[in-house]
């Protein structure tokens, strides 16, 4: 099946701990994105990447880090510097050459702090 | 700055028609998207407008007026499964290829 796979579905973080959220896509999409969603809030952009080995900060990048070593993978690390990490994290991807360039989403990871 | 406004909540009954409005103030407009999101799930694509006018797709239609910075999503023959959040998102050139999202409109459909 083609799509975007996020894992794990639920994740718990202890104080001072770094955690990594996985995002893999087999759609051969060029661009990948990470968004954060809080209750009553819209999706806010954390990081995005349009090509391998390159990524750009979004509106709320502080306390997060990413890598793009392979086209299919765009993991997000929530570092201990992120003081309020509890949220729903959504990964997305799109093909830069498509006419509509629709952005598709994974099923999300819900992160909570212990 | 970039700003997207949509109503927080709306209610409607089965079989009715509902219109969800979205206004935006952005520079470098490069397309407007509507997504549907059920609670705890990923957003799914509904419609895309880049030129003025109406796009129809089954029970859903979306309209865009670029001069007014305005769009609406029209849902006809409402069903209970249409209860969800509807997200308006704008793509702007300055943001590279990412989307800027409104806070979403939660629609509740009752029988």
Please report which helix (H) or strand (E) contains residue B106, including its range. Answer: strand B105-110
Backbone angles phi, psi at B81, to 5 degrees: -70, -10
The minimum CA-CA distance between A41 and chain B, rounded to whole Å, is: 5
Q: In this model, does residue A15 exceed pLDDT 90? A: no
Please report which helix (H) or strand (E) contains residue B15, including its range. Answer: none
pLDDT tens digits, A42-78: 899 999 999 999 999 999 999 999 999 999 999 999 9
Tokens 């099923």 -> residue:
A107
Are A41 and B98 inside 8 Å of each other by CB?
A: no
The minimum CA-CA distance between A107 and chain B, rounded to whole Å, is: 5
Report whether B48 contacts B31 (CB < 8 A).
yes
Q: In this model, does residue A97 exceed pLDDT 80? A: no
Are A43 and B42 inside 8 Å of each other by CB?
A: no
Q: In this model, does residue A99 exceed pLDDT 70? A: no
Q: Provide the number of CB pairs (under 8 Å) joining chain A to chain B.
A: 55
Are A42 and B102 inside 8 Å of each other by CB?
A: yes
| C-alpha atoms less than 13 angstroms from C-alpha of B111 in its C-beta half-sphere | 2
Per-residue pLDDT tens listing for chain B (111 residues): 789 999 999 999 999 999 999 999 988 888 999 999 999 899 999 999 999 999 999 999 999 999 999 999 999 999 999 999 999 999 987 666 789 999 999 999 999
Q: Give Cβ neighbours of residue B14 (< 8 Å, ≥ 6 apart).
A: B78, B79, B80, B109, B110, B111
Residue in chain B lying closest to A94 (CA): B97
A58 contacts in chain B (CB < 8 Å): 98
Any idea of the CA torsion for A35, A40, A42, A47, to the nearest 10 degrees? -20
Cis before A8? omega within 30? yes
Number of other residues whose CB lies within 10 A of the CB of residue B58: 7
A33 reaches B (C-beta below 8 A): yes
Residue in chain B lying closest to A42 (CA): B103
Beta strand ranges found along B14-69 (DSSP E) = 18-25, 29-37, 44-49, 53-57, 60-65
């Amino acid at each position: 099946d083609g799509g975007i796979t996020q894992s794990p579905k639920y994740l718990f973080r202890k104080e001072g701990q770094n955690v990594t959220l996985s995002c893999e896509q087999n759609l051969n999409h060029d661009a990948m994105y990470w968004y954060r969603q809080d209750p009553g809030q819209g999706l806010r952009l954390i990081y995005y990447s349009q090509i391998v080995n390159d990524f750009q900060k979004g509106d709320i990048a502080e306390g997060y880090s990413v890598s793009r070593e392979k086209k299919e993978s765009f993991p997000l690390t929530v570092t201990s510097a992120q003081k309020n990490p509890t949220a729903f994290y959504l990964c997305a991807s799109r093909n830069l050459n498509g006419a509509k360039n629709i952005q598709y989403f994974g099923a999300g990871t819900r992160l909570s702090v212990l | 700055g970039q700003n997207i406004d949509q109503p927080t909540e709306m209610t409607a009954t089965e079989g009715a028609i509902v219109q969800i409005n979205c206004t935006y103030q952005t520079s470098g407009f490069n397309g407007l998207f509507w997504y549907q999101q059920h609670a705890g799930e990923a957003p799914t694509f509904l419609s895309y407008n880049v030129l003025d006018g109406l796009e129809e797709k089954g029970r859903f239609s979306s309209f865009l007026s670029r001069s007014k910075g305005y769009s609406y999503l029209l849902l006809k023959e409402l069903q209970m499964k249409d209860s969800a959040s509807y997200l308006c998102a704008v793509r702007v050139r300055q943001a590279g290829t990412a989307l800027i999202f409104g806070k979403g409109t939660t629609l509740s459909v009752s029988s």
